[in-house]
């Protein structure tokens, strides 16, 4: 808590407990009251335990809640039920039972398979709720309510931009962007359910299999809808390999030319195709340095990347999680930078010669380590120096991932040492990279200061856990130049907002709106607002002008003059629309355009 107080930002205090992970702060035992921080391992253990006592049940609609609750609570005690929909409009309830035993009881007492269909039964935590045949059992109105309704619903961009427009300060805008887009509690729960499903299905084939989420789903920098990175490990513990146990299993050696992991991943890919409910579009990429299987989970609506034996990825997520929890400004700042980079096309969902979110996040963390403005974050070297015996972690290929895990042991003067607000930090971030010597310097979170580049890669971001590697080695010279240009543009934009004048792209709005649609949207904007005129209202059947940008521009001029649109009410607009019987000239274009006060019109 005192971390928050040190920043002196009351609004941060208010918001800091509003995200998906904050409730865990309150889950600590009484004896832990002196602790400020909860560790990544504790969070992961809590999330895994939660998944072990949860089921995801497909239902007819959210009104199935009472019946499902009544039916299940006859057999077991329920903690909470969370409702969500997937993109196919199907409804699901994630039920968290009180204990793992409860879940076993319920599966034993009332789960079934489909007898008649041409399928082979498989047990997994994903089920569906069959309608009753015959007389419908009556359940009393439950005293419990749905913990969450439509929990996977993402914020509508247009609504969000309207809210951002109405914010008082740029700092408020940044905080709001983060609060509205951060991966929420049900998003995290579902990701752990997807991992749990694989563990259950694969455990009949492998003795000690573990499937763990890593990357943005768990490192605190994820947003709603982000991909799910999963790692599969198979490590036998000391007890299982004890020489005192004299009955030893006969086992199967992996044969053939290829590496055993490649062959196992091939099998995993086949299992995903044939045995994992919800998994679709399986794609095996086995010849990469780290073999990977990509798939989509249709019941949860998430794209997954499953790799094996990559525990360093988990330790990296732990490091990022820790740095993010040291100061409440870190995650909102990273969030706005990620959104800006996406909007200006610096990052892209597909792999290529450009930046991705992971190195971009390291750029933000590195900036926050800079001492000249009072470090917000410590260097990794400092965390390594303070590490004790319990912090030793060795990943595959003997990679040493040891650093301090218990952040309560970190001296308070090594972090959160300035009280700049988010706006100032964002501006300084852009300014810092506008002046950064990308030509000769590399970014090193280990040192917390620029170091000499060991080679001529255009952008060099030292991998914090494997310092001989550059995590942005794929970035081309052109993309690095674009980064330099875009940070300068962004700094210039923010500076121009400092006079307090609120134009329609003031503050972060001018940074996070997609550049490609910004021109057209700007053209269709009504007054100083994010409500947009529909192309439908500008063109009609008899028009010989195509709805090109030029055409829209001239139409818009006329529209503004004749209709004084700025103050027009929605009902007036609708009336006019009917009266003149305007129809879409080109539905393709019209679809892409936002409607005026969408919530009332449609």
Name the residues that contact ligand CTP, by CB under 6 A: 214-216, 219, 222, 226-227, 229, 312-313, 316-317, 356-358, 463, 471
- Which among Mg ion, ligand CTP, none contacts residue 334 (Cβ within 5 to 8 A by kind)? none
**Residue 40 or 415 with smaller CB distance to ligand CTP:** 40
* Residue of this chain nearest to Mg ion (CB atom): 215
Q: Least distance to ligand CTP from the beta carbon of 315, Å?
A: 8
Q: Least distance to ligand CTP from the beta carbon of 554, Å?
A: 41
Q: Least distance to ligand CTP from the beta carbon of 339, Å?
A: 12
Q: Least distance to ligand CTP from the beta carbon of 444, Å?
A: 15
- Angstrom distance (rounded) from CA 493 to CA 177: 18
**Residue 351 or 567 with smaller CB distance to ligand CTP:** 351
**Residue 67 or 227 with smaller CB distance to Mg ion:** 227
Q: Look at residues 203, 200, 395 and name the one whose alpha carbon lies nearest to residue 309.
A: 395
H/E segment holding residue 297: strand 292-297
- Angstrom distance (rounded) from CA 531 to CA 488: 29
Helix axes 311-326, 357-369, angle to 10 degrees: 40
Q: Least distance to ligand CTP from the beta carbon of 104, Å?
A: 33
Kindly state whether residue 215 participates in binding Mg ion, applying the rule CB under 5 A.
yes
Q: What are the residues whose beta carbons fall under 8 Å from the beta carbon of 360, sequence distance 6 or more? A: 337, 338, 341, 346, 347
Kindly state whether residue 328 participates in binding Mg ion, applying the rule CB under 5 A.
no
Kindly state whether residue 50 participates in binding Mg ion, applying the rule CB under 5 A.
no
**Residue 93 or 292 with smaller CB distance to Mg ion:** 292
Q: Using an 8 Å Cβ cutoff, are 405 and 326 in contact?
A: no
**Residue 227 or 505 with smaller CB distance to ligand CTP:** 227
Kindly state whether residue 218 participates in binding Mg ion, applying the rule CB under 5 A.
no
Q: Using an 8 Å Cβ cutoff, are 20 and 185 in contact?
A: yes
Q: Least distance to ligand CTP from the beta carbon of 174, Å?
A: 18
Q: Least distance to Mg ion from the beta carbon of 227, Å?
A: 4
- Binding test (CB under 5 A) with Mg ion, winner from 50, 67, 96, 227: 227
In 10 A of CB 484, how many CB atoms?
Answer: 15
Number of residues that bind Mg ion (CB under 5 A): 4
- Angstrom distance (rounded) from CA 567 to CA 221: 40
**Residue 103 or 304 with smaller CB distance to Mg ion:** 304
Residues pairing with 96 in the sheet: 54, 80
**Residue 291 or 510 with smaller CB distance to ligand CTP:** 291
**Residue 94 or 228 with smaller CB distance to Mg ion:** 228
Six-digit token string for 572: 């007036």
- Angstrom distance (rounded) from CA 490 to CA 162: 21
Q: Using an 8 Å Cβ cutoff, are 438 and 502 in contact?
A: no
Kindly state whether residue 471 participates in binding Mg ion, applying the rule CB under 5 A.
no
**Residue 44 or 76 with smaller CB distance to ligand CTP:** 44
Q: Using an 8 Å Cβ cutoff, are 329 and 13 in contact?
A: no
Q: Least distance to Mg ion from the beta carbon of 213, Å?
A: 10
What DSSP letter does each residue of 524-545 carry, written as one string? HB-SSSS-B--GGGT--TT--S
Task: Specify the stretch interacting with Mg ion by CB under 5 A; choose among 26-34, 129-137, 208-216, 445-453.
Answer: 208-216
Kindly state whether residue 537 participates in binding Mg ion, applying the rule CB under 5 A.
no
Six-digit token string for 353: 């010669």
- Angstrom distance (rounded) from CA 50 to CA 243: 34
**Residue 215 or 507 with smaller CB distance to Mg ion:** 215
Kindly state whether residue 187 participates in binding Mg ion, applying the rule CB under 5 A.
no
What DSSP letter does each residue of 131-154 carry, written as one string? PPPSSPPP-PPPSS--SBSSTTPP
- Angstrom distance (rounded) from CA 501 to CA 496: 9
- Which among ligand CTP, Mg ion, none contacts residue 358 (Cβ within 5 to 8 A by kind)? ligand CTP
Q: Least distance to Mg ion from the beta carbon of 249, Å?
A: 36
Q: Look at residues 313, 326, 339, 406 and name the one whose alpha carbon lies nearest to residue 368.
A: 326
**Residue 102 or 357 with smaller CB distance to ligand CTP:** 357
Task: Specify the stretch interacting with Mg ion by CB under 5 A; choose among 39-47, 102-110, 224-232, 240-248.
Answer: 224-232
Q: In Å, what is the CA distance from 416 to each residue of 197, 376, 383, 390, 449?
A: 40, 4, 15, 25, 17
Q: Least distance to Mg ion from the beta carbon of 201, Å?
A: 22
Q: Least distance to ligand CTP from the beta carbon of 542, Å?
A: 47
Q: Least distance to ligand CTP from the beta carbon of 228, Å?
A: 9
**Residue 161 or 214 with smaller CB distance to ligand CTP:** 214
Residues pairing with 92 in the sheet: 58, 84
- Which among Mg ion, ligand CTP, none contacts residue 181 (Cβ within 5 to 8 A by kind)? none
Burial 349-379 (b: 16+ CB within 10 A, else e): eeeeebbbbbbbbbbbbbbbbbeeeebbbbb
- Which among ligand CTP, Mg ion, none contacts residue 471 (Cβ within 5 to 8 A by kind)? ligand CTP
Task: Specify the stretch interacting with Mg ion by CB under 5 A; choose among 59-67, 216-224, 282-290, 546-554.
Answer: 216-224
- Angstrom distance (rounded) from CA 434 to CA 309: 38
Q: Least distance to ligand CTP from the beta carbon of 317, Å?
A: 5
Kindly state whether residue 229 participates in binding Mg ion, applying the rule CB under 5 A.
yes
Kindly state whether residue 320 participates in binding Mg ion, applying the rule CB under 5 A.
no
Vertex 459, ends 310 and 415: CA angle to 5°? 70
- Which among ligand CTP, Mg ion, none contacts residue 356 (Cβ within 5 to 8 A by kind)? ligand CTP
Kindly state whether residue 356 participates in binding Mg ion, applying the rule CB under 5 A.
no
**For the chain, how long is the longest CA-to-CA vector?**
92
H/E segment holding residue 319: helix 311-326
**Residue 172 or 229 with smaller CB distance to Mg ion:** 229
Binding-site ranges for Mg ion (CB under 5 A): 215-216, 227, 229
């Amino acid at each position: 808590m005192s971390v928050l107080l040190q920043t002196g930002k009351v609004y941060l205090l208010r918001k800091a407990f509003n995200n998906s992970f904050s409730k865990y702060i309150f889950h600590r035992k009484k004896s832990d009251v002196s602790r400020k921080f909860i560790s990544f391992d504790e969070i992961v253990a809590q999330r895994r335990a939660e998944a072990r006592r949860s089921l995801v049940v497909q239902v007819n609609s959210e009104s199935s809640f009472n019946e499902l609750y009544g039916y299940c609570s006859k057999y077991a005690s329920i903690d909470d039920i969370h409702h969500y929909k997937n993109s196919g409009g199907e409804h699901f309830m994630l039920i968290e039972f009180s204990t793992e035993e409860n879940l076993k009881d319920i599966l034993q007492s009332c789960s079934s398979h489909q007898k008649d269909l041409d399928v082979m039964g498989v047990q997994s935590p994903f089920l569906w709720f069959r309608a009753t045949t015959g007389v419908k059992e009556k359940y009393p109105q439950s005293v419990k309510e749905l913990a969450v309704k439509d929990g996977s619903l993402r914020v509508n961009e247009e609504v969000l931009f309207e809210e951002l427009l109405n914010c008082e300060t740029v700092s408020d805008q940044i905080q709001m962007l983060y609060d509205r887009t951060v991966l929420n509690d049900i998003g995290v729960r579902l990701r752990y359910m997807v991992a749990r499903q694989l563990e259950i299905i694969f455990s009949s084939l492998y003795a000690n299999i573990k499937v763990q989420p890593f990357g943005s789903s768990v490192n605190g920098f994820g947003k709603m809808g982000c991909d799910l990175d999963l790692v599969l490990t198979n490590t036998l513990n000391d007890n299982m390999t004890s020489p005192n146990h004299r009955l030893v299993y006969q086992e199967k050696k992996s044969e053939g030319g290829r590496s055993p992991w490649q062959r196992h991943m091939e099998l995993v890919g086949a299992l995903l195709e044939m045995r994992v409910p919800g998994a679709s579009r399986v794609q095996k990429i086995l010849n990469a340095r780290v073999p990977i299987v990509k798939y989509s989970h249709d019941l949860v609506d998430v794209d997954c990347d499953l790799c094996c034996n990559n525990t360093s990825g988990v330790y990296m997520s732990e490091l990022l999680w820790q740095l993010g929890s040291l100061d409440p400004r870190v995650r909102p700042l990273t969030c706005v930078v990620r959104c800006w980079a996406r909007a200006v096309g610096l990052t892209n969902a597909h792999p290529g010669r450009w930046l991705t979110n992971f190195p971009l996040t390291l750029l933000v963390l590195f900036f926050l380590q800079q001492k000249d403005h009072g470090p917000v974050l410590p260097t990794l070297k400092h965390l390594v120096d303070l590490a004790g015996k319990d912090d030793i972690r060795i990943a595959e290929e003997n990679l040493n991932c040891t650093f301090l895990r218990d952040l309560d042991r970190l001296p308070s003067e090594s972090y959160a040492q300035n009280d700049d607000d988010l706006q100032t930090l964002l501006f300084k971030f852009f300014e810092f990279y506008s002046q950064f010597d990308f030509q000769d310097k590399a970014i090193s979170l280990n040192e917390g200061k620029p170091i000499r580049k060991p080679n001529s890669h255009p952008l060099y971001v030292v991998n914090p856990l494997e310092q001989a590697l550059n995590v942005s080695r794929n970035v081309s010279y052109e993309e690095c130049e674009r980064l330099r240009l875009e940070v300068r543009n962004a700094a210039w934009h923010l500076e121009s907002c400092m006079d307090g004048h609120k134009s329609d792209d003031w503050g972060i709005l001018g940074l996070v709106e997609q550049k490609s649609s910004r021109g057209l949207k700007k053209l269709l904007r009504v007054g100083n607002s994010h409500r947009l005129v529909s192309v439908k209202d500008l063109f009609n059947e008899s028009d010989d002008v195509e709805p090109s940008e030029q055409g829209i521009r001239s139409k818009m001029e006329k529209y503004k003059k004749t209709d004084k649109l700025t103050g027009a009410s929605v009902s007036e607009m609708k009336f006019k629309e009917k009266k003149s019987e305007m129809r879409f000239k080109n539905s393709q274009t019209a679809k892409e355009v936002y409607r005026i006060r969408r919530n009332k019109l449609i």
